[in-house]
Amino acid sequence: MSAREEVLARLRTARDAGAPRTPLGDVPRDYRRRGEHDPGSEGALVQLVERVEDYRATVTRVAGPDDVATVVARLLEDASSVVVPSGMDRAWLAAAGVRVLVDGEPDVLDVAALDAVDAVVTGAAVAVAETGTLVLDAAAPDQGRRALTLVPDHHVCVVRAADVVGTVPEALARLDPVHPLTFVSGPSATSDIELDRVEGVHGPRRLDVVLVG
């Protein structure tokens, strides 16, 4: 029996023994759950922009979906290749003169292929104004699996105004907890003990947000 099989066997034995379980009490819900601004309101959008820019990311606001392609093309002007999830709106790339790789059509791209592209473009499930956080749902067709937004060096994320909420509890209420979720608060960055900031360590070193609406 291998070490793996031994560990799994012990877990099955413990599970089948029917150890008594302590019932969980009700979770207190008296914490603050709503922000000072209504979801999708101008106040929430302004707050999101301020927080995202605090993280050294950029935000470009556009009036509607028809304006997204022009902004995305400008943000990708230094890129020669880009990867997108299979369900992303291809109209977003209509004006960008780049080679487009689609993850999952027909095959899921390996890490080497993702590392070779210059950028990734996705949507977002929800954005949190108070924290400047974008949440990506791997089960959503326009957001893709987690590696898709962690390996490329540049992430362009399109966020709809209606998906901007005030607080994390408001965001969680819109999300399915069984789906793989990625929380993005600015470009990837870390600092050593002397506070020397290094970007692009755990994910993209550049984050550009297109806020629609």
Alpha carbon distance 81, 98 (integer Å):
5
Q: Is the Cβ–Cβ distance between 101 and 138 less than 8 Å?
A: no
Give the span between the Cα atoms of 13 and 114, in whole angstroms. Answer: 42
For residue 15, give every residue at least 6 positions away whose Cβ sits within 8 Å of its Cβ, in sequence order, or none. none
Q: What is the pLDDT of residues 157-193, one digit of tens each?
A: 999 999 999 999 999 999 999 999 999 999 988 887 8
Choose which CATH entry (3.40.1350.10, 3.40.140.10, 3.40.50.10420, 1.10.10.10) describes domain 37-212: 3.40.50.10420
pLDDT tens profile 136-161: 999 999 999 999 999 999 999 999 99
